[in-house]
C-alpha cells in the first residue's frame, strides 16, 4: 500500500513506523503537519491509500479525514482522551496503560477504534517509556490496524459504551514540586512525568529552571530543597525524606530572549552553584563491585562469571567529551577484568546518539568543543576496535544514531532489541562523520550499501539492520527483558569452546587489518573532514546544530522524507545471515540461537 505518515515531527515513533511499514512491503512517505492549511494540499498531492498519524499534536482537517481513512495513534487505552496521556499515567502511578489506533473524525480521540494494545508501565521516565513499551504497543496496534484496513472487511469499533476520561493538558501548576513537603517518591514521579518535555518548572539559586530527569538517592540527606552534591554533571537535592539526582536543567526563556536548551545541570547552573562535594559514582573506581544499587550512576559495571557488562544511561543518548572520557576510563578498567565476553550498552533506551550537540552549542568555542568531543568519542571507539583479548558485544537496547551506531559497529558482534531504530548516517547534521565509520560500516554492509545508508539518511529497523548485516542478532523481547536476555546469551557465548579460539584469532585478524589499513590513517582522514567543517563558521553544521538544540520547527517536510520510499528500493543483503531471536517479522529469517 501507499501509506502517508502525517506527524508533528519525524520523532522516534514515526521513524519506527516508517521503517517497519517499509519492512512489510509498503511504500511510505512523510508529511509534517507544519503550516495551517498546507496538510490538505499535501495529502491530496500524495494521494495515499491510507494515512497514519503516529504522533500528531494537531487535528486532521475535515477535508482530509472525510476523503481518506486516517488512523491516529493515541498513547492511551480506549476511552482515554487529551494531550497529556502519558504524563497523567505516570503522574497517577498507573501500572498498566495502552495504545489505541483510532480513525480521525470531527472530535479529537473520539473516532472508531481500529486496534488497541495494552502495555506495562515500569518505573521509568516518560520518554524512555514512550520509546520502549509504548512504542512496542503502538507498532503492534498500527500493524494490526493496517492489516485490517488492507483486508477491507474490518469495521472499526465505535467508542459507544467505552468509559471516557478526558483529561486536560498537565500544566506546571500540578507538576510543581513542594520541596519542603514532597517525599522522594513524589518528586521522582513528578520529574519522570515531565521528562523530556516540558520538564518541571522550579526555582533554584535565584533563577527559574525546568528540571529534567530524576533518580532517587539512597544515602545523602539534607535540609529539604538544599543542594547536597554533584555527580557526573548532575546535582543532588534534598527532598522531605531523602534526596534526588537531577541530571539536566534548562533555563526558563525570558520574554524576547534567545531560546534556551537542556544542559547537564552542573554546566547549566555554572557559577551560581555553591561549592559542593563531587560525590563520585559508586561504580568507579572499584570494579567489579556494582556500588550502591540504591544510588544513581550514569555508568555501571557488573560481572557474572566470565561475562562483564559495562552499561551507561546518558540523557538523550548524547555523549559529551566528559561522558566519553569517563566511559573510556571505565572501559579500560572493565578490560582489566578476567572476563572473556564484555557486553557494552545501557540496559534500556538509547544506546548512543553520538557527540553532545547541546554541550557543544553552549560552549564558548563550539568548534573547539566539537573537536574535543569527536576526539573523545573516537578514543572510545578505538579502544573497542583494538580490544583483542576478549569478545566485545554491543548490546543495543534502544535507538542509536550517527556516531552512536558506529560505536556499536566497533564491537565484534552487535545484538539489537527488535524495537530499536538505527540512523546510521550524519548528513542531516551537516557532518561527514567520524568514529571510524569509513572502516567499519563498509566492512559490515559492503561499500554500496554503506553509501546508500549515508546518502538516504533514513531510519532502519532492527530487522532491516539484520538483513543488511549492520547487526548480528535481533532479540524480540520487552525493553525490561533485554538485559537479562543479553546476559544469558553472553554467558552461553562465553561458555562455548569456540569462543577461546575466536579470541585467539581476533589478534591475528586485527594485526592483518592494521597492516592493510592503519586505524590512525582512517581516523586522520575522517577528522580532517570533520575539522574543516567545525572550523568553518559558514558550514551548515553550525546552523543545523543550533536548529536541533533549540528545537526549531522545519519550514517544510525534508525532501528525503516527502517522497514515497518503495520497499524495492531498499538495500537488502546479509549474505552472512544474522539471527532473529523471537517472532520473525516479514522477510527475516528466524533461527534458534545456539
Which residue's CB is nearer to ligand COA, number 26 or number 262?
A: 262
Stretch of 79-87, 316-324, 450-458, 563-571 lying at the interface with ligand COA (CB under 6 A): 316-324
State the minimum distance, in angstroms, from the CB of residue 45 to ligand COA: 25
Residue 424, CA distances (Å) to 158, 385, 386, 430, 442 in order: 41, 18, 22, 14, 12
Binding mask 181-210 for ligand COA (x = CB under 6 A): ---------------xx-------------
Stretch of 178-186, 349-357, 382-390, 555-563 lying at the interface with ligand COA (CB under 6 A): 349-357
User: 298 and 319 in contact (C-beta within 8 Å)?
Assistant: no
State the minimum distance, in angstroms, from the CB of residue 318 to ligand COA: 3
Which residue's CB is nearer to ligand COA, number 18 or number 81?
A: 18
Nearest to 54 by CA among 26, 31, 25: 31
Stretch of 339-347, 398-406, 514-522, 568-576 lying at the interface with ligand COA (CB under 6 A): 398-406
Stretch of 116-124, 141-149, 265-273, 314-322 lying at the interface with ligand COA (CB under 6 A): 314-322
Stretch of 110-118, 231-239, 304-312, 353-361 lying at the interface with ligand COA (CB under 6 A): 353-361
Which residue's CB is nearer to ligand COA, number 162 or number 533?
A: 533
Stretch of 175-183, 264-272, 313-321, 514-522 lying at the interface with ligand COA (CB under 6 A): 313-321
State the minimum distance, in angstroms, from the CB of residue 547 to ligand COA: 11
Helices then strands, each counted (H, E), the chain: 21, 26
Please report, as residue ranges, which positions from 3 to 22 form the binding site for ligand COA (by CB under 6 A). Answer: 11-12
Single out the residue of 84, 339, 358, 438 in contact with ligand COA (rule: CB under 6 A): 358
355 binds ligand COA, rule: CB under 6 A: yes
403 binds ligand COA, rule: CB under 6 A: yes
Number of residues that bind ligand COA (CB under 6 A): 23
479 binds ligand COA, rule: CB under 6 A: no
State the minimum distance, in angstroms, from the CB of residue 504 to ligand COA: 34
Single out the residue of 42, 249, 401, 407 in contact with ligand COA (rule: CB under 6 A): 401
Single out the residue of 48, 317, 469, 479 in contact with ligand COA (rule: CB under 6 A): 317
CA distance 568 to 587: 13
Residue 574, CA distances (Å) to 367, 394, 440, 450, 454 in order: 38, 19, 15, 13, 18
State the minimum distance, in angstroms, from the CB of residue 476 to ligand COA: 20
Stretch of 170-178, 252-260, 354-362, 570-578 lying at the interface with ligand COA (CB under 6 A): 354-362
CA distance 350 to 369: 23
User: 445 and 504 in contact (C-beta within 8 Å)?
Assistant: no
Single out the residue of 132, 214, 281, 316 in contact with ligand COA (rule: CB under 6 A): 316
User: 63 and 24 in contact (C-beta within 8 Å)?
Assistant: no
CA distance 51 to 31: 10
354 binds ligand COA, rule: CB under 6 A: yes
**E strand map for 268-336:** 299-304, 307-312
Would you tell me the crossing angle of helices 366-385 and 540-549 to the nearest 10 degrees? Answer: 90
Binding mask 547-566 for ligand COA (x = CB under 6 A): --------------------
Q: The C-alpha cell of 2 is what?
A: 501507499
State the minimum distance, in angstroms, from the CB of residue 319 to ligand COA: 8
State the minimum distance, in angstroms, from the CB of residue 126 to ligand COA: 9
Nearest to 227 by CA among 245, 251, 210: 245
215-217 and 207-212: which strand pairing? unpaired
580: enclosing H helix or E strand? strand 579-581
Q: Say how many CA atoms lie within 13 Å of 18 toward its Cβ.
A: 28
State the minimum distance, in angstroms, from the CB of residue 404 to ligand COA: 7
297 by DSSP, 3-state: which?
Answer: coil
User: 402 and 493 in contact (C-beta within 8 Å)?
Assistant: no
**Three-point CA angle 574, 576, 581, nearest 5°:** 80
Nearest to 360 by CA among 372, 369, 368, 349: 369
Nearest to 323 by CA among 379, 282, 277: 379
State the minimum distance, in angstroms, from the CB of residue 454 to ligand COA: 12
Single out the residue of 353, 461, 570, 581 in contact with ligand COA (rule: CB under 6 A): 353
262 binds ligand COA, rule: CB under 6 A: yes
486 binds ligand COA, rule: CB under 6 A: no
User: 475 and 482 in contact (C-beta within 8 Å)?
Assistant: yes
Binding mask 416-435 for ligand COA (x = CB under 6 A): -------x--x--x-x----
574 binds ligand COA, rule: CB under 6 A: no
Beta bridge partners of 71: 52, 103
CA distance 460 to 450: 13
State the minimum distance, in angstroms, from the CB of residue 360 to ligand COA: 8
Q: By Cβ distance, which residue is nearest to ligand COA?
A: 354
357 binds ligand COA, rule: CB under 6 A: yes
DSSP of 504-538: HHHHHHHHHHHHHS-HHHHHHHHHHHHHHHHT-TT
Which residue's CB is nearer to ligand COA, number 100 or number 358?
A: 358
User: Which DSSP category does 472 fall into?
Assistant: S
Single out the residue of 18, 237, 356, 444 in contact with ligand COA (rule: CB under 6 A): 356
Which residue's CB is nearer to ligand COA, number 12 or number 239?
A: 12
State the minimum distance, in angstroms, from the CB of residue 388 to ligand COA: 26
State the minimum distance, in angstroms, from the CB of residue 320 to ligand COA: 8
460-461 and 421-423: which strand pairing? antiparallel
Single out the residue of 127, 159, 184, 239 in contact with ligand COA (rule: CB under 6 A): 127
**E strand map for 408-539:** 413-417, 421-423, 460-461, 473-475
371 binds ligand COA, rule: CB under 6 A: no
CA distance 460 to 446: 16
Whose cell is 496538510? That residue is: 39
**Three-point CA angle 251, 347, 323, nearest 5°:** 45
Report how far apart the first and last C-alpha atoms of the chain are (Å, whole number). Answer: 37
Using CB under 6 A as the criterion, which residues of the chain lie in contact with ligand COA when the complex forms?
11-12, 127, 196-197, 262, 316-318, 353-358, 399, 401-403, 423, 426, 429, 431
Amino acid at each position: 500500500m501507499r501509506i502517508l505518515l502525517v506527524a508533528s515531527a519525524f520523532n522516534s515513533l514515526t521513524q519506527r513506523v516508517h521503517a517497519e511499514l517499509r519492512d512489510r512491503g509498503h511504500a511510505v512517505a512523510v508529511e509534517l503537519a507544519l503550516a495551517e492549511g498546507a496538510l490538505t494540499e499535501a495529502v491530496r498531492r500524495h494521494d495515499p491509500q491510507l494515512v497514519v498519524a503516529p504522533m500528531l499534536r494537531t487535528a486532521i482537517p475535515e477535508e482530509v479525514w472525510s476523503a481518506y481513512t486516517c488512523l491516529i495513534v493515541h498513547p492511551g487505552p480506549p476511552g482515554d482522551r487529551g494531550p497529556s496521556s502519558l504524563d497523567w499515567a505516570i503522574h497517577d502511578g498507573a501500572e498498566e496503560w495502552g495504545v489505541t489506533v483510532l480513525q480521525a473524525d470531527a472530535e479529537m480521540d473520539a473516532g472508531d477504534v481500529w486496534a488497541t494494545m495494552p502495555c506495562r508501565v515500569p518505573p521509568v521516565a516518560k520518554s524512555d517509556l514512550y520509546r520502549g513499551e509504548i512504542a512496542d504497543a503502538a507498532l503492534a496496534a498500527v500493524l494490526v490496524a493496517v492489516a485490517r484496513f488492507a483486508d477491507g472487511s474490518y469495521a472499526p469499533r465505535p467508542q459507544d459504551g467505552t468509559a471516557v476520561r478526558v483529561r486536560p493538558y498537565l500544566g506546571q501548576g500540578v507538576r510543581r514540586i513542594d520541596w519542603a513537603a514532597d517525599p522522594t517518591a513524589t518528586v521522582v514521579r513528578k520529574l519522570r512525568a515531565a521528562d523530556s518535555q516540558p520538564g518541571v518548572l522550579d526555582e533554584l539559586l535565584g533563577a527559574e529552571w525546568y528540571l529534567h530527569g530524576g533518580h532517587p538517592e539512597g544515602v545523602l540527606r539534607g535540609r529539604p530543597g538544599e543542594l547536597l552534591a554533584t555527580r557526573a554533571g548532575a546535582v543532588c537535592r534534598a527532598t522531605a525524606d531523602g534526596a534526588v539526582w537531577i541530571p539536566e536543567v534548562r533555563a526558563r526563556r525570558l520574554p524576547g530572549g534567545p531560546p534556551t536548551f537542556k544542559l547537564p545541570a552542573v554546566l547549566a547552573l555554572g557559577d551560581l552553584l555553591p561549592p559542593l562535594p563531587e560525590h563520585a559514582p559508586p561504580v568507579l573506581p572499584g570494579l567489579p563491585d556494582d556500588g550502591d544499587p540504591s544510588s544513581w550512576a550514569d555508568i555501571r559495571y557488573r560481572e557474572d562469571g566470565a561475562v562483564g557488562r559495562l552499561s551507561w544511561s546518558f540523557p538523550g543518548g548524547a555523549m559529551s567529551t566528559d561522558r566519553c572520557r569517563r566511559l573510556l576510563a571505565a572501559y579500560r578498567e572493565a578490560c582489566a577484568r578476567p572476563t572473556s565476553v564484555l557486553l557494552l550498552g545501557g540496559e534500556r533506551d538509547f544506546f548512543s546518539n553520538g557527540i553532545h550537540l547541546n554541550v557543544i552549542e553552549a560552549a564558548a568555542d563550539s568548534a573547539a568543543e566539537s573537536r574535543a568531543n569527536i576526539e573523545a568519542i573516537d578514543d572510545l571507539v578505538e579502544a573497542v576496535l583494538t580490544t583483542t583479548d576478549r569478545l566485545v558485544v554491543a548490546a543495543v537496547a534502544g535507538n542509536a544514531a550517527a556516531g552512536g551506531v558506529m560505536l556499536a559497529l566497533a564491537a565484534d558482534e552487535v545484538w539489537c532489541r527488535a524495537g530499536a531504530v538505527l540512523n546510521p548516517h550524519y548528513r542531516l547534521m551537516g557532518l561527514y562523520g567520524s568514529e571510524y565509520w569509513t572502516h567499519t560500516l563498509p566492512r559490515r554492509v559492503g561499500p554500496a550499501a554503506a553509501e546508500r545508508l549515508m546518502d538516504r539518511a533514513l531510519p532502519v529497523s532492527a530487522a532491516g539492520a539484520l538483513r543488511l548485516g549492520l547487526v548480528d542478532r535481533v532479540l524480540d523481547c520487552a525493553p525490561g527483558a533485554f538485559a537479562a536476555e543479553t546476559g544469558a546469551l553472553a554467558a552461553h557465548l562465553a561458555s562455548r569452546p569456540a569462543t577461546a579460539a575466536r579470541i585467539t584469532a581476533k589478534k591475528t585478524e586485527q594485526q592483518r587489518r592494521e597492516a592493510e589499513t592503519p586505524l590512525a590513517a582512517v581516523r586522520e582522514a575522517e577528522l580532517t573532514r570533520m575539522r574543516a567543517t567545525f572550523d568553518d563558521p559558514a558550514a551548515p553544521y553550525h546552523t543545523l546544530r543550533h536548529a536541533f538544540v533549540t528545537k526549531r520547527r522545519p519550514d517544510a517536510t525534508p525532501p528525503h522524507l516527502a517522497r514515497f520510499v518503495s520497499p524495492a528500493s531498499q538495500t537488502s543483503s546479509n549474505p552472512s545471515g544474522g539471527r532473529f531471536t523471537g517472532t520473525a517479522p516479514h522477510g527475516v529469517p528466524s533461527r534458534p540461537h545456539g
